[in-house]
Amino acid sequence: MAYIFHEDELPKLVSVVPGRERTFFVNKELTDIDDMLAGVMHYKQGASSPYHYHVNCEHFYFIMEGNGTVETPEGVRKVGPGDMVFIPAEAKHRLRATDSPLFYFEFQAPNRFKTTILDGTPDDLRWNRVDGRVWVQT
């Protein structure tokens, strides 16, 4: 059985801290699995994640549009369209949209992890859901 959906039909999560919007394509609600978490993120220019890390979670970003930076303990590196970023489990990181909005695909595995914020507030991890259909079955 296949599920066909369009990003605009899926529920969106909008960050309590302005500037970030998330749409999951794979999560426990959609697939009833917790082996992975995947979706797309939109950052407005200047928006960023808090400096944080995930216990028990490998993390990937594939940058599709825009320019940004990835901050780790080793420094800050520029990223842009076509760049794939791999964040190992427990590696400290922050992604920031710099001179333009940023659009990227995000993949985390497994989806059984804890996030610890190192620079920011608990609101940086809070998201409000915006209604949308979950999927269309074919």
pLDDT score of 1: 61
Low pLDDT (below 50) residues in the chain: 134-138
Q: How many domains does the chain have?
A: 1
- CB neighbour class for 37 (10 Å; exposed up to 12, middle 13-18, buried from 19): buried
Domain-located, residue 21: yes
Domain-located, residue 137: no
pLDDT score of 115: 86
pLDDT score of 13: 83
What CATH number does residue 30 fall under?
A: 2.60.120.10
Domain-located, residue 138: no
Domain-located, residue 61: yes
Domain-located, residue 4: no
Strand partners, 65: 103
Domain enclosing residue 81, as ranges? 16-131
pLDDT tens by residue, 59-85 = 999 999 999 999 999 999 999 999 999
Domain-located, residue 11: no
Domain-located, residue 123: yes
Nearest to 49 by CA among 129, 113, 128, 117: 117
Domain-located, residue 7: no
pLDDT score of 131: 66
Contacts of 74 (CB under 8 A, 6+ apart): none
Residue 69's CB is within 10 A of a number of other CB atoms, namely 16
Give alpha helix (H) positions in the chain: 28-31
pLDDT score of 22: 87
pTM of the predicted structure, to 2 decimals: 0.86
